[in-house]
Structure 1
């Protein structure tokens, strides 16, 4: 059954709009991102309009200034997709929580509209890769048919992009924990961010380009979700020229693209190549102290006292016996290892009986204490607490799907990490051991885990468990131990995340606290992918938006044969980096955006400080910051360019 959010027939097919189909918060967040940030007209297909997400979308639909429409359908079958206008849509996002539902809808959509740009949420990576290849081959096969449209009649981008919301959330979680802020751009191993420089601030050596200038009141970073207010919008200009950038009229700061020097705490040089280093890595962290526990020392002390008394008695009553033998014989008797003292003096026989009865009483205690210590040793050996002198590290709580990927990303950047996980079978436990990361296998909500992780000496706390309440408890406990720790937590409910962030900032105004849902972190990446493979990232700036794109220079009259300075178009685009296009590279939208990292295909060798006189050639690829109008101009140019694929 299909219904719309208002009376009347189903939504009629429209050209060049976007469709989002889903059943959770990601669909809602994506629709809001496309509408509010990217300015797109969006039809949202949800199973219900009475639940939380459907109600919010319905409210947006009723807003005259919004371009969102709501379509209610139990599942994304052919009737629902056609009613949503997929046959005339520019892009379709499928964000259901079930991979099979997304796959079936993607195949149907490709048959309905072979030219639609598909963005698909998939949890199974390998399955997603195969689906991506299959659907892209369908487009190539259509182009090879005798009656296929000419290249100029086909859309520029009919791609299929498969994304995982957890993958797209990882880079910003890492950036927030390691760098202290999100909204990062990661290209070819480099990290960048947009930062507002107040008026009168001298240029920074890390600044690459001016992205915008503000003429209103500016006291907070307009890019930050933690900002309490934003600059005024009167006269704000995106991608201004040099004269405008330094004009006295714009007295309230400039938005700069800054190259971030990651605040990394590098590990000390390892001596694992030596035998001594190999032994230390494998045995130094083992919990040998369990063998000197109070229980074990009490039992062994009692045994030693009994042996000492029996040894003194034997030495005093048996004539001519050396002292060593006076100790040796009682030990044999206690452990029932000696021969009966049939030919010995009466005192020796009496002491042997006492030693035998003492052994019967004490040996079970010794065995029990040994077994307990061995069990504790085995359990504690799984954990690998950090050294006592570790500091300025990142405490990572939760080694599930997201936590494991965050751990790998942090270690690849050489950050010191201490992991905490309560489930020994969690997927990240083996990864932590392989990477040599200190690991504490305890419940982080308990009283010991954070202390063992040395939270008081840490720089950041990253809490990524699947329990919202537990995440909040952990952060509050960490704040008590270390009020200045940089805390980042993953919460599933968007409203709850916003409330928690505001409350913790009010309680600890000097400390940074970020609480974000995975859907809010992932939605910018899905939005960028829906806009095309050439779109790498989206940055909202007040009421406008900047798009970061990757463009091959060949076939673009506004770029090819021009210098970097001449290729600049005021309020439309600016060249940020120049590099080789390279054979076989593509403008595939990666698994991240400015709100989550991205990896530019063919990104190695990019010059992020190109000389203004450098001439752009056909073999170059450029990274551009563009406005929506600038992107439209570049897209129209590429439609008329010859197809070189």
Structure 2
């Protein structure tokens, strides 16, 4: 299996084995032509190579002419095989060269966009949880770079959208995180389904950028403490929080909603914090004396 190139070397992997197979088939046809020319046409080695080349290339100068039925059948098979293989190799080469050029240009564009990213999120893992997180980031117009080691998911689901920046590598690799701009990122969201990978990614991110905000997923409750020790700022367990959401939904008819009242001075202090750290506000209700019903904003 050919080695995979890193994302920074080439955003797409182009298999060249198909060209090698076609060239091997062309070489086999040449060997067939030389051997047949020696034993069927009765030529010496040099003339056998000459006759094979001009027959495969369909030049046919007429200086060497097949006479017997066997010689004519051999010449026809050699010519037909040559026409088909040469056309196949030529079209395949043109296609691969065009594909490589297009993908190189596209890869350069992706790398350029990634280098210009700043104050963005790095999302590690694009499974069930990761895709949901990405949808939430998009709804709030947050910039994100996705790192997903499953190349098929990246090629079939993510690269179809030119607005999505995705790296088909493992987030456990330091070079991949550096390519995603971890030094300039606002935060890292680790959403793979493997707690061991999440632990290693957390350690690597904390080492590369000690000040970055890290939110990681925990599939098992016993790993939550380990992830905090590894450097995570927040550890979320969808399995545990999902159970809590179901519980609160069941208890909703008997729950009492408590509203915290803030005066003007409190709102002013909160506004300073929002402006200073670039925060966003969600689910806010303003109780104004002029309105009987509270107005809410999101």
Q: TM-score, normalised by structure 1?
A: 0.26
Separation in 1 of the partners of 2:259 and 2:120? 38
- The aligned runs of 1:208-219 (5 Å cut-off) are none
Map of 1:304-383 to 2, 5 A cutoff?
Answer: 374=99, 378=103
Secondary structure of residue in 2 paired with 1:456 = coil
Q: 1:529 aligns with which of 245, 249, 255?
A: 249
Alignment partner of 1:504 is 2:230 = yes
Q: Does 1:412 align with 2:132?
A: no
Residue number in structure 1 paired with 2:185: 458
The alpha-carbon deviation at position 374 of structure 1 amounts to 5.0
How far off its partner does 1:387 sit?
3.0
Distance 1:534 1:622, change over 3 A: farther
Q: How many residues align?
A: 195
1:164-199: per-residue Cα shift (whole Å, max 9, x none)?
A: xxxxxxxxxxxxxxxxxxxxxxxxxxxxxxxxxxxx
How many Å separate the matches in 2 of 1:290 and 1:442? 12
CA contact 2:158–2:166 (8 Å) conserved in 1: no
Contact 1:394 1:461 in 2 (8 A): yes
Distance 1:528 1:432 in 2: 38
Aligned CA distance change for structure 1 residues 448 and 529 (closer, same or farther; 3 Å): same
Which of 491, 499, 517 aligns to 2:237? It is: 517
**Equivalent residue number for residue 214 of structure 2:** 487
Q: 1 or 2, which has the higher helix percentage?
A: 2
Contact 2:118 2:184 in 1 (8 A): yes
In 2, the alpha carbon distance for the partners of 1:477 and 1:608 equals: 41
Partners in 1 of 2:96 and 2:127 — Cα distance?
32
Give the equivalent residue in structure 1 for 2:148.
421
1:608 deviates by 1.9
CA contact (8 A) 1:468 1:490 kept: yes
Q: 1:400 to 1:382 in 2, by over 3 A?
A: farther
Partner Cα separation in structure 2 for residue 379 and residue 474 of structure 1: 29
User: Cα–Cα, structure 1 residues 489 and 380, in superposed 2: closer, same or farther, change >3 Å?
Assistant: farther
How do residues 158-557 of structure 1 correspond to structure 2 at under 5 angstroms?
A: 374=99, 378=103, 384-385=110-111, 386-426=113-153, 430=157, 433-434=160-161, 436-501=163-228, 503-505=229-231, 513-532=233-252, 547-548=256-257
CA shift for structure 1 position 289: 11
Cα distance between partner residues in 1 of 2:105 and 2:156: 14
Aligned to 1:430, the other structure's residue is in SS state helix
Q: Select between 427-436 and 515-524 the one with higher mean Cα deviation.
A: 427-436
How far is the alpha carbon of 1:412 from its aligned partner?
1.2
Q: Deviations over 1:69-111 (max 9, x none)?
A: xxxxxxxxxxxxxxxxxxxxxxxxxxxxxxxxxxxxxxxxxxx
Alpha-carbon distance in structure 1 between the residues aligned to 2:130 and 2:164: 13
Corresponding residue SS for 2:192: coil
Alpha-carbon distance in 1 for matches of 2:122, 2:150: 17
Question: Which SS does the other structure have where 1:489 is aligned?
Answer: strand
Question: RMSD across aligned C-alpha pairs, in angstroms?
Answer: 4.5
**Whole-Å separation in 1 of the counterparts to 2:103 and 2:131:** 24
* Structure whose residues are more often strand by fraction: 1
Q: Which whole-Å CA distance do the structure 1 matches of 2:11 and 2:168 have between them?
A: 17
Q: Secondary structure at the match of 1:521?
A: helix
Aligned partner of 2:21 in structure 1 is none
SS in 2 for 1:529: helix
Deviation at 1:453, TM superposition (A): 0.8
Decide whether the 8 Å contact of 1:403 with 1:428 is kept in 2: no
Higher relative contact order (CA 8 A, sep 6+): 1
